[in-house]
Amino acid sequence: MKTKATLIGFTAILMWSFLALMTAASGTMPPFQLSAITFAIGSLPGILLFMARPERLKELRQPPKVWLAGVGGLFGYHFLYFTALRNAPAVEAGLIAYLWPLLIVVGSALLPGERLGWHHLVGALCGLAGTALIVGKNGFAFDPAYSLGYFTALLCAFTWAAYSLISRKFEKVSTDVVTGFCLATSALSLLCHLALETTVWPDTTAQWAAVIGLGLLPVGLAFYVWDYGVKNGDIQILGVSSYAAPLLSTLILIIFGFGEISVRIGLSCLLITGGAVLAARDMVFRKSERAT
């Protein structure tokens, strides 16, 4: 059961790997507008399920702390991420924001029934090193002038890590409630868009298809399966495996002609894959023992 849930959670990482490609293909829509539309689309599967099975609507009746954690995680992460990118170079801000897998692995030691081993920490650090090779291909230049952007990027990392870890503590809360989180995030993003941005609509059918694809997968279904995975699977393995997202995203961009393969990418692949295998050592050995 735990292995199955972990694999289901990993599909979120696979879907997030297409985020860069789909975002690039969606045109020049401002980030909060794109967030408002895609999260609205992401809530549609849940809404259809509620229409088919109205009795599940009771799952939305949750304590305020559940709603605060869920909406704070989804909206807070995106708000802080967009703020970071507006106030710091994308490479440095992106790397700081991508500390969240490491924070999940370390923070998991605070969860009941979890134990942080050396292999979890080393695996996470290998993943971070591999990610640094990808996002920092032209080097890093941390400038104090961008302190606000760096700080919000760090808050962004802590926000997603906290959301994932707190979700584990709410393991008895049905994943149906993610539909409500998506709707609330869409509404808050719309308010930010109206206050901060100029509306820009897609120009082509292909761009609309990319927007819809974003809403159905990386900004939709991914959050449902991630919720299920962190609640029922191995959260430490999921944390380390999350470093596969920037690697897979880069490989997908290369496949579609937006980049070239290099030694740096190969080394990143080894670091991230090796780190994930090391972190998953306990799960692999448990399966081997059961097989014998």
Q: Rounded to whole angstroms, how far apart are CA atoms 197 and 175?
A: 32
Confidence of residue 288 (pLDDT cuts 50, 70, 90): very low
Q: Using N-to-C axis directions, what is the helix angle for 31-52 and 222-232, rounded to 10°? A: 70
Over residues 88-101, the pLDDT tens digits come to: 877 778 778 888 88
Over residues 125-142, the pLDDT tens digits come to: 888 888 888 777 666 667
What is the pLDDT of the chain when averaged over all its residues? 88
Q: Rounded to whole angstroms, how far apart are CA atoms 188 and 71?
A: 9
Confidence of residue 268 (pLDDT cuts 50, 70, 90): confident
Q: Rounded to whole angstroms, how far apart are CA atoms 118 and 126?
A: 12
By the 8 A CB rule, do 2 and 235 touch? no
